[in-house]
Amino acid sequence: METWRRVEVAACEELPALLGADDGPTPAELETIRAATFTVDAVNERERTTDHDVAAFVDVLSASAGAAGRWIHFGLTSSDVLDTALALQLRAVGETIVPGAQALVHALANRAREHADTLCVGRTHGVHAEPTTFGVKLAGFAFEAHRNALRLQRAFEQAAAGAISGAVGTYAATSPEFERRVLDRLGLAREDVSTQVVARDRHAELLGAIALAGAGLERLATEIRHLQRTEVREAREPFRAGQKGSSAMPHKRNPIKSEQISGLARVLRANAQAALENVALWHERDISHSSVERVILPDSTILIDHLQHSATALVQGLVVDEQRMRANLELTHGALFSQRVLLALVEGDADSGRPAMSRDDAYRIAQELAQRAWDEGVPLRELLAGDERAAGLDLDVIFDYAHYTRYAHEIVARLDEIA
């Protein structure tokens, strides 16, 4: 309601330019209008009679201004006030949410730099693939968070558009110049054709950006949940002194913050769907969008702010078990070096006289031995050393983790462009 008041006052302040200095409100009346007050209780009481929230608000505010109150809401329609005030609210909330999104980028970038050399296994389909570093892993999340921060910034900027165009958007009671001057006072852009309401694709774009940011947070939270599983145990959420993971099992330390993020991201996606449903209104306007927005806009903006802060604290406090990461690399008994074996067989070695192989033949050998290593628990290196088909391979070169991490610092250094 305070933003409604700001819109009403700004409109009154531009009435002399619209009507002429002799016909609009006097300087004294403008001072009275600026000083006019309202209470939520008074507006709610009045709405019991009017059954119209803006009309009730205008009645209360006008009564507070006495005779000068006749100028309040002059030439305006309810949507002029509601949508322009909503733009003010969204701009204000964006000034909180966008810096929060940027803070997450910095937190992820800092931890990525810290763990640029921390060797861990990369997984595809949940299965060990090849070694990587935890810093490279976190750098990917940091860049995604950066893209989401940019999307949020753009989305809030385009949503900061108002309209003072009157009934069905024709300026019949005012003028486009009057709208421009009022919006300039409020620091808002103009909806080019408002049709009485600001087009709801703007709000759908904002809720879409928020939902997408939530999806990025969920991807991060899902990774942490997997890494905290007992069988993996490579990273875990911080666990405070006195904290309890289960009412029945004292040993439990659960990824509850990550699970909350994953769950609440679903609400953001659902709200984005509702925002898309709000785009199609009847003719110039209806109010089917209004009741929906009173739920989804505050809920989604509050939620994304909360989730960003939770994720930032989670990243900053994340406990990384480097020894466990190293131990997990050995679970396949060297099978994850299979591509190195494959390429060495394909390449051949003229110096040792080892002939090059076709890719299919080399693949069959590498696959056979890697599967034996995994299934039988015999190190792949040992199997290669005893197999004449692999004679002449430089096993020290093949089984060198440094080969996988030699570009890790270069990859992580790309963060300098964004954080």
Q: Is 125 designated active site?
A: yes
Pairing of strands 189-190, 161-162: parallel
Q: Is 352 designated active site?
A: no
CB atoms within 10 A of CB 87: 26
- Catalytic-labelled residue, pool 62, 64, 115, 125: 125
- Catalytic-labelled residue, pool 246, 291, 352, 358: 246
Query: What are the φ and ψ backbone dihedral angles of 406, each rounded to 5 degrees?
Result: -65, -20
Cα distances (angstroms) measured from residue 312 to each of 90, 135, 316, 392, 417: 23, 16, 6, 50, 20
Tokens coding 283 = 């003719």
109-114: long-range contacts, CB 8 A cutoff, minimum separation 24: 109/138, 109/139, 109/142, 109/415, 109/418, 109/419, 110/419, 111/135, 111/138, 111/315, 111/316, 111/318, 112/136, 112/137, 112/138, 112/139, 112/141, 112/142, 112/412, 112/415, 113/412, 113/415
Going by C-beta distance under 8 Å and a sequence separation of 6 or more, which residues neighbour residue 11? 73, 74, 75, 76, 80, 164, 182
First to last CA, the chain: 38
The type of residue at 416 is D
Which residues are annotated as catalytic?
125, 246
